[in-house]
Chain A
């Protein structure tokens, strides 16, 4: 697929010393790429630079191979859906939607037709005469999306569009957005700090931290093979266990692991809670005491006390009955990742329990 948006070596440094540096990624046509990271990591700075609201210190921004770096927001081939909806309070829904078309001198009949069409797309037919203050948060965000879609942008930018909505509505709108994106083959750059949102709707995720990119990969890769300790900590839940590596072995308490790579120094083992299973007799086992049990809807979280530290383990809600508080169980680590002291992954290969000795 053709590259629609290319961000090359983008930098923006603020007088405070914060900002983004060497941001380099691209979005292909019809792709939904998410910028994910904690507050202050620079994801909004990147998005606003693409939209023309921030003047970058260096680098290039290209849309369909055209450098848009020098263009003001009103002349860029992008449209933005803002976090706070940004509907114009003194205009009706119709006027909010029709404004950009009027600027383009589109005929009245066509404006009417296109507004109705986009309102149908966002399931808000018949709302033309209402003012933004008469709409719920979800409806306002749908109108904001409709307004951006009417601009027919080459790249649609979304700045945490669902963060002000409640969880249920957020989930609903997320699905609708993905549907619209697929139907219209839209190219989208989406900003969020919500990892669940990012994992559920993205074709590709750009994880950012402290103004730089930590990892660019599809959601499943980000989750399964995080490129750094930060990504592992930020995406999903993970248990971290400190250990000591000597050549190709890692010592954690009285457990010894082997690995392909040679390394000597402190290491951290990352284990997802779902990768901790109850051990059968044939496995290498770790003894654990059940400290806490917590129902989290369709699954339960069990806190275990072990000799290598406190671990969280996920089990199906039906299995919860098999556990008892303060009882001792045997567990095995099905998969884990080893990180060096500086947070880098020691080996990209996920090791498994058979390598435990």
Chain B
């Protein structure tokens, strides 16, 4: 019995430092933000900050803009990354081998440098404009298009990596069995590849959504001034307008958005696990 206690205490002792760090650096700020978002000028409980962010047209526009950019970016990244992953999984070509070696490179380029490079490349008088002619250059920088493009640049490597690992875990034998049963390329994809990799797609989607909805560097440097992504808007309310309560309310709202996506992912995982345990 004494031995059991000792090992329990040892376990607790080993976990405690990281738990305390989590408590101080994550849980306390979260709690503090939630509390601030519900605290009025007289230190009383209030909904007025939420009332403000959900009625103020400027912020509502920002929310709409953030959701549109996030959803579009997620969709585009998923489609492109999934296509690349499928190509890399099933192709033996030299091109596939080269893509396989290089697709992770954007992950190793610091965000700010990538954004500045992107601006130099695509601004109205940037390199592309000089090559194709300024009059033919579409507006990319300080525009949603630019933000979508940079989101794709940032997120494709990691998403592709996740999806490739999912596709590689589908044994060739399953594909061969399906072909043997008469499945053509389309049916192979629809009945086998997609169902056997959609769980990882959900994981990728969760990470993508959380990353893009709260992104700051790229929207701050590339997006237009209004509407803004919520990350930028939150920073401005906090440090430019000194509206700490409003920025806390925005932070809690973003946290809720991410929680919904997280819950959706957890729910689908539990459902799958139940099916597997059956």
Within 8 A of B (CB), among A87-104: 87-90, 99-100, 103-104
Within 8 A of B (CB), among A112-166: 131, 133-134, 147-148, 151
Closest A residue to B188 using CB positions: A74
Name the distance in Å between B173's Cβ and chain A's nearest Cβ: 5
Q: B residues within 8 A CB of A88?
A: 174, 177-178, 192
Name the distance in Å between A32's Cβ and chain B's nearest Cβ: 19
Report yes or no: A133 in contact with B276, Cβ–Cβ below 8 A: yes
Kindly state whether residue A73 has any CB partner on chain B within 8 Å: yes
Report yes or no: B173 in contact with A103, Cβ–Cβ below 8 A: no
Q: A residues within 8 A CB of B184?
A: 74
Name the distance in Å between B202's Cβ and chain A's nearest Cβ: 15
Report yes or no: B173 in contact with A84, Cβ–Cβ below 8 A: yes
Closest A residue to B179 using CB positions: A73
Kindly state whether residue B3 has any CB partner on chain A within 8 Å: no
Number of interface residues of A (CB under 8 A): 25
Fill in one digit per residue for B155-183: 1 if any A CB lies within 8 Å of its CB, else 0: 00000000000000001011011111111
Report yes or no: B182 in contact with A86, Cβ–Cβ below 8 A: no
Q: Name the contact of A99 in the complex, choosing from B171, B181, B196, B278 (C-beta under 8 A).
A: B181
Q: A residues within 8 A CB of B97?
A: none
Question: What's the interface size class on B, roughly?
Answer: 20 to 34
Kindly state whether residue B195 has any CB partner on chain A within 8 Å: yes
Closest A residue to B178 using CB positions: A88
Q: Name the contact of B183 in the complex, choosing from A53, A103, A131 (C-beta under 8 A).
A: A103
Kindly state whether residue A80 has any CB partner on chain B within 8 Å: yes
Fill in one digit per residue for B185-200: 1 if any A CB lies within 8 Å of its CB, else 0: 0010001100110000
Kindly state whether residue A79 has any CB partner on chain B within 8 Å: yes
Report yes or no: A99 in contact with B191, Cβ–Cβ below 8 A: yes
Contact A131:B181 (CB < 8 A) given known A86-B176, A99-B191: no
Report yes or no: A79 in contact with B178, Cβ–Cβ below 8 A: no
Kindly state whether residue B275 has any CB partner on chain A within 8 Å: yes
Q: B residues within 8 A CB of A51?
A: 180
Kindly state whether residue A263 has any CB partner on chain B within 8 Å: no
Closest A residue to B194 using CB positions: A90
Report yes or no: A73 in contact with B195, Cβ–Cβ below 8 A: no
Within 8 A of B (CB), among A59-90: 72-74, 79-80, 82, 84, 86-90
Q: Name the contact of A74 in the complex, choosing from B174, B180, B191 (C-beta under 8 A).
A: B180
Name the distance in Å between A81's Cβ and chain B's nearest Cβ: 9
Shortest beta-carbon contacts, A-B, top 5: A86-B177, A100-B181, A73-B179, A86-B173, A103-B182
Residues of B at under 8 Å CB distance from A? 171, 173-174, 176-184, 187, 191-192, 195-196, 275-276, 278
Residues of A at under 8 Å CB distance from B? 51-53, 72-74, 79-80, 82, 84, 86-90, 99-100, 103-104, 131, 133-134, 147-148, 151
